[in-house]
C-alpha cells in the first residue's frame, strides 16, 4: 500500500459544545494519511492518475470551514466518510487536533482510521505459498 499524506492543514471553523465556542472561529489542525496506488501516476506523470492532494485539501477546507459541529469526533467521522466516498480512498488515518481546547498550550483531538488498510494485496499469493 502506498500512502499520500497531508500534514498540518490548518482550517478555521466554529466547533464546540460551549456557548462561547459557538460564536468564535478557532483553528483546527488536520493530518491525513490516505491509501493510494501511486504506480500508475508515477508511470504516466499525470495528475489525472494520482490522488490529487490539492483537490482533497480544497474539499476539506470547504467542508470544515462551512459547517458547524459540536464534537471533533463528529467532524472527523464526517470528513473521513466524505473523502472515502468522493475520492475513492480505501483506507485513511485522520488526525484532528483542536489546539488550546482545554487550556493554553494544550492540544486535544482524535485519531481515526477507516477502511481497509491492506487494499493492495498481492494477487494469487496465499500465506502458505510464501512459507514454501
Supply the residues annotated as catalytic: 98
Q: Taking the CB of residue 32, how many other CB atoms lie within 10 A of it? A: 23
- Secondary structure of residue 15 in the 3-state scheme: strand
Place of cell 493530518: 31
E-only strand ranges, the chain: 3-13, 26-35, 91-99, 107-115
DSSP state of 40: H
**Nearest Cα to Cα of residue 51 among 65, 63, 40:** 40
Amino acid at each position: 500500500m502506498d500512502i499520500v499524506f497531508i500534514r498540518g492543514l490548518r482550517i478555521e471553523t466554529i466547533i464546540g459544545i460551549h456557548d462561547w465556542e459557538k460564536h468564535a472561529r478557532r483553528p483546527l489542525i488536520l493530518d491525513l494519511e490516505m491509501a493510494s496506488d501511486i504506480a500508475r501516476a508515477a508511470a504516466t506523470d499525470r495528475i489525472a492518475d494520482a490522488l490529487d492532494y490539492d483537490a482533497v485539501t480544497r474539499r476539506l477546507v470547504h467542508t470544515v470551514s462551512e459547517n458547524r459541529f459540536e464534537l471533533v469526533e463528529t467532524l472527523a467521522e464526517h470528513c473521513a466518510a466524505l473523502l472515502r466516498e468522493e475520492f475513492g480512498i480505501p483506507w485513511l488515518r485522520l488526525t484532528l487536533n483542536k489546539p488550546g481546547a482545554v487550556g493554553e498550550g494544550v492540544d486535544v483531538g482524535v485519531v481515526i482510521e477507516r477502511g481497509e488498510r491492506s487494499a493492495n494485496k498481492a494477487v494469487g499469493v496465499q500465506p502458505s505459498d510464501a512459507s514454501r
